[in-house]
Structure 1
């Protein structure tokens, strides 16, 4: 819900910025603008996109971010290989997965409030010049005080990454973010989108390969033999655990990161684990694609942000 431009605050190439212009006359765009300021303005972590400031000029709503040179994870997994044949290496994929997990751990457990992202997917992960992942686009995010419960009832997110319980009660939680991360992790390893126009669902497919003892058959064939089988098998198993149909059975992000770092053994996944038919129907047929946010408008603005006037921009491509 908005267009992103590349620009500059000064003539120095090191001062390049990304400017997100929220779609004019879109109430959802305004809500997402306020949500992103509220959520991202005071968050500081190496695996999150840094919000430098914001500006409201006439009818334009603008968010100013660090410029992230390598684009989105989605483009590195799909668009760039199609254009140039350059396939994202296994080592880069594994480090990116761990970085995203670290960012989500910060949101869920290490900041002053609990932040539920609600739209974890490859296009919302940007990759910096050091191939470090930055989770961004907090337009659908919700903040909760520790010990409180989510009370939202409107389903939000992107089809393929939304946990099955969201169709029943709409309550986003850290567990629903974990589910989305699990799908994303399976996607990073396999190079496959989570769903297609037919009956394919990525977690089901990986689970079938696991049950047949061929889980490494899920590894992106474009990698050839250029991957670590132990790391790939570990990542696929962790992805399956995160995609468990029951929210309470999904590991928290702290445990997920311990699994990925090899600090804790991954529990065995038996052949009875998996989606019921009703869970598959929930995941595939109850969503019409991208669903709008239910966040209400707010006048809150983070005191840590710098208000930047529109004249500060040098318009870029």
Structure 2
């Protein structure tokens, strides 16, 4: 056989030997990808608690997901055009709330469903608004509890960072306690206040003890407690929240002060890292606010002409002296002795323990819930 012919046969045989395994490998990879896709789709489809939202085709040049195709797959990814249309072009007339990072709008989707759209400040990927966006996606994107506001979807396009939540028509606890929500001028009744306190406690107990790793909220306050139709409490705004490792009572997530004046635990101002006990303190302040009707950030003038005092100090002194009935919000309609008076006093006793200046002396949220169940 001629040498050129023999060389040609050898080259052809070598080519076949290389091509066959490559084709086989490609075939197996294709089958593997095909078998994974239905599993991912099925997992998201099995979550009935998340209503369907209109989803535009993703723009890969401007869209961004914290989770990629795995952990965030059940959150709906929306386009800026969809959300602009739903909010009337982010009209000021549709603003239902605001915060340090942006505005919240009431939006009506093409399906007719009403949602709350939180548009964070457009200060780019390095700004505080983007950090809040990432924090809320990381925390709420993986959690579900009856007393947590549900995150339904998100959008990240250009400088815009937007979160879409279930709409709670009764608004915030802050608005109800301080005269902005009830158009009839009627105060929030005691049974509703007790239910709200129980709901907020259940949400924090779940964050601290009901999941691993635990979550610290770090901004518990009345404006971050939203109310459903039956006055069920929904803890919201997780822009300052942090996921911690290890024991929530001992793990320090940051030495940077975070929170809202009046609610912040004293050790935070002292530069001690936030722990679950700081959330417990804020919860105690929230309970005092619920029962007394006083804003924690406003000082209290005990008598005409007397010096103004800190609300928490004022309340703790009265509770410790057995004078809790003197500081209750008279608009609740609780008078004299009875079941409701005992409940209110019991709730203030729990708040007194939660707002102890020494974090080691405060109960955990699990213990606080147990005490509330005995009221």
- Which category describes the TM-score, using the shorter chain as reference length? 0.7 to 0.9
Flag the 1:101–1:211 CA change in 2: closer, same or farther, 3 A. closer
Kindly name which structure, 1 or 2, has the bigger radius of gyration based on alpha carbons. Answer: 2
Spell out structure 1 runs of 4+ moving beyond 4 A: none
Would you say 1:149 and 2:149 are equivalent positions?
Answer: no
2:133 to 25, 33, 58: 33
- 2:372 is matched with 260
SS at match of 1:138: coil
Once the two structures are superposed, residues 21-72 of structure 1 have per-residue CA deviations (whole angstroms, 9 ceiling, x without a partner) of 0011261111111111111111100000000111112221110101111000
Q: How far is the alpha carbon of 1:146 from its aligned partner?
A: 2.6
Once the two structures are superposed, residues 188-212 of structure 1 have per-residue CA deviations (whole angstroms, 9 ceiling, x without a partner) of 0000011325742222212222344
Query: Aligned-pair RMSD on alpha carbons?
Result: 1.8
Determine the C-alpha separation between the residues in 1 that align with 2:291 and 2:251: 33
Determine the C-alpha separation between the residues in 2 that align with 1:167 and 1:203: 16
2:262 to 160, 166, 169: 160
- 2:66 is matched with none
Would you say 1:192 and 2:294 are equivalent positions?
Answer: yes
Q: Which structure exhibits the higher relative contact order, with contacts defined as CA atoms closer than 8 Å and separated by 6 or more residues?
A: 1
- 2:3 is matched with none
Once the two structures are superposed, residues 254-303 of structure 1 have per-residue CA deviations (whole angstroms, 9 ceiling, x without a partner) of 1101111107xxxxxxxxxxxxxxxxxxxxxxxxxxxxxxxxxxxxxxxx
- 1:8 is matched with 108
- 1:88 is matched with 188
Flag the 1:99–1:52 CA change in 2: closer, same or farther, 3 A. same
- 2:117 is matched with 19
On the 8 A contact 2:298/2:311 being kept in 1, the answer is: no
2:353 to 241, 244, 257: 241
- 1:136 is matched with 236
Provide the TM-score with structure 2 as the length reference.
0.66
Task: State how 1:1-317 maps to structure 2 within 5 Å.
Answer: 1-12=101-112, 15-25=113-123, 27-80=127-180, 83-147=183-247, 149-196=251-298, 199-225=308-334, 228-262=340-374
Q: How many residues align?
A: 261
SS at match of 2:343: helix
- 2:88 is matched with none
Determine the C-alpha separation between the residues in 1 that align with 2:169 and 2:270: 39
On the 8 A contact 1:190/1:219 being kept in 2, the answer is: yes
Determine the C-alpha separation between the residues in 1 that align with 2:332 and 2:137: 39
On the 8 A contact 1:40/1:51 being kept in 2, the answer is: yes
- Structure 1 unmatched ranges of 5 or more: 264-317
Provide the TM-score with structure 1 as the length reference.
0.78
